[in-house]
Amino acid sequence: MAEVTLTINGRNYGISCDDGQEQRVVDLGHYVDSRMKDISRSGAASNDTHLLVLTALMLADESFDARQNADQNGQAAAPQEDELVIARVIDQLADRIDTIADRMAQAS
Average pLDDT over all residues of the chain: 83
SS3 category, 71 = helix
SS3 category, 39 = helix
**Cα distance between residue 64 and residue 51, in whole Å:** 20
Q: How many helices (H) and strands (E) does the chain have?
A: 3, 2
Across 1-108, the runs of DSSP E, i.e. the strands, are: 2-8, 11-17
| Confidence check: pLDDT of 96 > 90 | no
Query: What is the domain partition of the chain in residue ranges?
Result: 2-107
Percent of the chain exceeding pLDDT 90 equals 29
| Confidence check: pLDDT of 80 > 70 | no
Q: What is the pLDDT of residues 19-59, one digit of tens each?
A: 999 999 999 999 999 999 998 998 888 888 888 888 888 88
Q: Quick one: how far is CA 38 from the chain centroid? A: 14
